[in-house]
Amino acid sequence: MRVNETFLSLQGEGYFTGTPAFFLRLSGCNLQCPFCDTNHQSFSEMSEEEIVTEASRHKPRHIIITGGEPALQLTQSLVDKLHEAGFFVQVETNGTLPLPEGIDWVTCSPKGLTPSLSKGEGVQTINELKVLYKGIGDDPERFISPLRGEGMGLRLCLQPLDTGNAERNRIILRDTIAYIMEHPHWSLSLQTHKLLGIK
């Protein structure tokens, strides 16, 4: 399996913000988003057994599998091995590809209403919809209808887009808060790991 990096940290955004977790970042993505802030192209080969062994060296039993796009590589056997080792398995996906069964928490962060989402060819059941908000004129509601949640119910998180420009980010944050106040079914997601200066 092509692994970009593994590390121990706090979940920085979304529903589980502040939760200690082991991160498994898989290499590669099927989208080329111009605003992507993650270097996910380099990799080292790791077997599923090596991944489980590395994750098990740490106390948190919450693993976050991210990328890139993890659905390009994630297997049912790895999910099963992680469950056997006592892990709560969370996956962060762009929603364009199907995922293995039995994942405990699926966070979908769509980067566009792709044909696979609208036709139901991608991920079908998610727990958390985390939408990057670009400011006034953006319509996060368009992402809700193709997806459905189960278990605890679908959590809706709106996250201001990080443009790399402090003044533009300030405006987008203001607009995001204003949108949420008018559409209270959304909750604010901030990239707290950046604010804290951690990975």
Which residue in the list 13, 16, 22, 23 is annotated as catalytic? 23
Q: Which of 33, 121, 183, 185 is catalytic?
A: 33
Tokens of 190: 């901030």
Spatial CB neighbours of 93, under 8 Å, sequence gap ≥ 6: 69, 70, 71, 99, 106, 107, 108, 109, 123
Known catalytic residue: 48?
no
- Other Cβ atoms closer than 10 A to 86: 8
Q: Which tokens is 105 given?
A: 């928490």
Q: What phi and psi, each to the nearest 5 degrees, are found at residue 10?
A: -95, 140
Identified catalytic residue from 7, 35, 38, 185: 38
Token pair for residue 197? 């200066």
The question of whether 108 is a catalytic residue gets the answer no
3-state secondary structure of 160: strand
Pick the catalytic residue: 29, 62, 69, 96? 29
Task: Tell me whether residue 176 is one of the annotated catalytic residues.
Answer: no
Give the helix ranges, DSSP H, for 21-156: 48-56, 76-84, 115-118
The β-bridge partners of 2 are 45
> Which of 7, 36, 49, 183 is flagged as catalytic?
36
Catalytic residue among 17, 162, 192, 193: 193
Give the number of other Cβ atoms within 10 Å of residue 156's Cβ: 22
Phi, psi of 70, rounded to the nearest 5 degrees: -65, -25
Among 66, 92, 143, 176, the one annotated catalytic: 92
Q: Catalytic residue at 193?
A: yes
Is 37 one of the catalytic residues? yes
- Active-site residue, 157 included: no
Q: What residues act catalytically?
A: 23, 29, 33, 36-38, 92, 193
